């Protein structure tokens, strides 16, 4: 425990005024459980500027969520691990409120609208925004080759970490990582 505190303190001093990087260092220090699959980037990486359609066909950009931490999940209707993971993402979103992270999902590849609606109905999830990447354009630009993949985006909209595979995003371990990122 003392060692972890010293690492956090040292990292904070080294990073100085860069609060976002200090948050990432604090999050790295509490990684456990499923979150051990979380890979933190050496430096935040900007995302490509893209517009994606939502389920109603309206164009939306990821910059819509700037100013908030974002849990960005790439998934598909045919992906069994995605089906397992999505309810935890929905519970995280429901419990986050205005201060917690925003959960945004991107259905990548061929996912017909009726299949997407059926997917969410079957797992009982209705509270997550769904964006569509039907030709996997954004997924390819982001080097996403398997599903599910979840990115953590800082308030400036940059990727700071990535988890490949499913995870319990509402677990105490995930909440500890996200809490460390959100801490002022």
- What's the pLDDT tens digit per position in 87-119? 999 999 999 988 899 999 999 999 999 999 999
Q: Tell whether the model's pLDDT for residue 5 goes beyond 70.
A: no
What is the Cα 117 distance to its own chain's centre?
Answer: 21
Helix (H) / strand (E) element for 158: namely: strand 158-164
Check if the beta carbon of residue 131 is closer than 8 Å to that of residue 105.
yes
The top-level CATH class assigned to 37-168 is alpha beta
The 3-class SS string of 30-79 reads CCCHHHHHEEEEEEEEECCCCEEEECCCCEEEHHHHCCCCEEEEEECCCC
DSSP 101: P
SS3 of 162, please?
A: strand
pLDDT tens-digit series, residues 27-81: 999 999 999 999 999 999 999 999 999 999 999 999 999 999 999 999 999 999 9
> pLDDT digit string (tens) for 108-167?
999 999 999 999 999 999 999 999 999 999 999 999 999 999 999 999 999 999 999 999
Contact 37, 168 (CB under 8 A): no
What is the number of other CB atoms lying within 10 angstroms of the CB of residue 106? 24
């Amino acid at each position: 425990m003392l060692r972890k505190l010293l690492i956090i303190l040292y990292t904070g001093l080294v990073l100085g005024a860069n609060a976002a990087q200090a948050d990432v260092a604090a999050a790295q220090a509490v990684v456990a459980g499923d979150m051990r699959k979380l890979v933190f980037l050496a430096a935040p990486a900007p995302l490509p500027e893209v517009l994606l359609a939502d389920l109603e066909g309206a164009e939306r950009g990821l910059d819509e969520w700037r100013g908030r931490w974002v849990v960005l999940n790439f998934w598909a209707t045919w992906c069994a691990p995605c089906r397992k993971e999505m309810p935890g993402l929905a519970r995280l979103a429901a419990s986050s409120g205005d201060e917690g992270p925003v959960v945004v999902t991107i259905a990548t590849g061929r996912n017909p609208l009726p299949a997407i609606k059926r997917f969410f109905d079957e797992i009982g999830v209705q509270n997550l925004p769904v964006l569509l990447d039907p030709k996997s354009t954004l997924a390819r630009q982001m080097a996403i080759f398997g599903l599910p993949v979840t990115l953590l985006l800082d308030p400036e909209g940059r990727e700071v970490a990535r988890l490949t595979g499913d995870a319990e995003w509402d677990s105490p371990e995930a909440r500890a990582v996200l809490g460390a990122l959100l801490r002022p």
